[in-house]
Amino acid sequence: MDYAPKLIQLLDTVEQENASDLHISSGRPPTLRIDGRLVPLLKEGVLSSQDTEGLVFALLSPEQKERFIEERELDISYANRDKARFRVNVYFESGDASAALRLIPNKIRTIEELEMPQVLHRFTAPSQGFFLSVGPSGHGKSTTLAALVDEINHTRSEHIITIEDPIEYIFTQDRCIIDQREVGKDTKSFSSALRSAFRQDPDIIMVGEMRDAETIATAITAAETGHLVYATLHTNNAAQTIDRIIDSFPAGQQHQVRSQLALTLLGVVSKRLVPKIDGGIVPVCEVMITNSAVRNLIRENKVHELDFVIETGADQGMISLNRSLANFVKQGVVSIETAEMYSLNSKELRVLAGT
């Protein structure tokens, strides 16, 4: 049976239903994620092992199929004709082929279109430094960086190199030269691509994900040596992000890394896509802007005090996650119960929200 037409139908449904993800697993119907909630496509019926294998293999080239069978999982990007692109992870579950597909919109949205804080525009202005977009998986870290990179693309003349696994947003070059390198296809690893970037005359480097100490160290060095570096991490907030970076190094190197980070870090944005009361989602952000107080806390290993600096730094454009959540609760956009699910301190949240 040719599963390609069925795959196209399912991918079209993702767009038609304004879903963010499609899940293909045997023993259940194809399932969409819409506004953060899983919605099974009951009319499609339950997928068999044969169905999932056919749909997954329809996503893969012969070379990718060979790698998938050998490695048992694989990250790829997939274009649904000229309509939309997907970031795809294919994997085996209880011996059956499965897939998770994330829709990547064709249009790169601006900070305004993403409904994110205006203060983020300031992170497109520096010529060097280190900026991090963090948060749980699936909450728009890459989308945030794409908005910043594309703003620079339309306002400055720079050489931008992106290192991604896989490539997600496709940038249309405007004032910038943009080279997009895919791990596994254009380079062997994030760290090797970063090292090579020093010889490619970049002004700005975007690292899709910092997965190891070598990549983190090279990214910090790039920021030290006159480049603007954007990167993502799977961390929950600014304080945890600093701790994760420092803790990825041996104890003997941590003092040096703290000094480098204090010198180069421009800021951290942490983002959650939170369900609204009336349907849809709203981005809730924590924004830390590196000032002298933040630099001192990083340098002196007092990262646990960063939350206080963020909470009291509103006049400088800083935003705490709880205050952002509380504001949406007060506006009647998000319920207090939903807000508590995303808060890292629900007691403080209730005080801020006045409940």
pLDDT at 106: 85
Per DSSP, what are the bridge partners of residue 88? 76, 101
**pLDDT of res. 82:** 77
Q: Please give the model's pTM, rounded to 2 decimal places.
A: 0.93
How many CA atoms within 13 Å lie on the side-chain side of 291? 14
- Note down pLDDT in tens along the chain; length 355 residues: 899 999 999 999 999 999 999 999 999 999 999 998 999 999 999 999 999 999 999 999 999 999 999 999 999 999 998 778 999 999 999 999 999 999 998 899 999 999 999 999 999 999 999 999 999 988 999 999 999 999 999 999 999 999 999 999 999 999 999 999 999 999 999 999 999 999 999 999 999 999 999 999 999 999 999 999 999 999 999 999 999 999 999 999 999 999 999 999 999 999 999 999 999 999 999 999 999 999 999 999 999 999 999 999 999 999 999 999 999 999 999 999 999 999 999 999 999 998 8
What are the beta bridge partners of residue 132?
Answer: 231, 268
C-beta separation of 111 from 190 below 8 A:
no
Residues constituting the chain: 355
Q: Parallel, antiparallel, or unpaired: how do β-strands 159-164 and 37-40 relate?
A: unpaired
Contact between 31 and 40 under an 8 Å Cβ cutoff? The reply is yes
